Structure 1
Amino acid sequence: MADTGTTKVALSNAEKQQRFRERQRSKGKKEVRGYLSKEAIECYQQISEQTDWNDSTILSNAIRITYAAYKNGQIGLLSNWLNQHKL
């Protein structure tokens, strides 16, 4: 077997993560992070169990629903409901 002189170097986890983030950005996606309250974690778990959605889908849909409430003048109603129900 002849050696062609080309060897592949394994990428580190950080390099793999960076490449993944770059691919996501090139698709027009944006990473959003935050910390969840205990109540929000319980809601998240319930949504995840009932829908089989992953983190990204849950967050994306939550933002879209909140935006729809805002655009339809219902953001105050939504906020009041969440506060009254301790969610």
Structure 2
Amino acid sequence: MEKKQKSANAEKQRRYRQRQKELGHKHVRGYVSKEAMSCYDDIREKTKWTDNEVLSNALRITYAAYKCGQIKLLNEWLKDHNR
């Protein structure tokens, strides 16, 4: 019975990942520093965003800053505020 349950869960996860791929979503993951985790917690608390929304919006904001030549400004702000 336990083996049957494990394979059913694995199948559900496989179908979920396949649906996300079909929607054009890409799975991204990695390790974050303690400082980054603190920022993440602040963002989640203030915005009530889900994990996916935080990651998606962070990437979009970073890209916008890059396109506008503001990455250095963002990095300086993070350093100045010990983030």
User: For 2:46 and 2:72, how far apart are their aligned partners in 1?
Assistant: 27
Which residue identity lines up with residue 12 of structure 1 in the other structure?
A
User: For 2:37 and 2:17, how far apart are their aligned partners in 1?
Assistant: 25
- Matching residue of 1:38: 34
1:7-86 → structure 2 map (5 Å cutoff):
12-86=8-82
User: For 1:16 and 1:29, how far apart are their aligned partners in 2?
Assistant: 17
User: For 2:24 and 2:56, how far apart are their aligned partners in 1?
Assistant: 13
Q: TM-score, normalised by structure 1?
A: 0.81
Unaligned runs of 5+ in 2: none
Indicate the structure with greater helix content. 2
Aligned-pair RMSD on alpha carbons?
1.6
User: For 1:32 and 1:86, how far apart are their aligned partners in 2?
Assistant: 26
**Computing the radius of gyration over CA atoms, which structure comes out larger, 1 or 2?**
1
Percent of pairs with identical residues: 58
Aligned residues: 79
Query: Alpha-carbon deviation of 1:50?
Result: 1.4
Q: TM-score, normalised by structure 2?
A: 0.84
Which residue identity lines up with residue 49 of structure 2 in the other structure?
W
4+ residue runs of structure 1 moved beyond 6 angstroms?
none
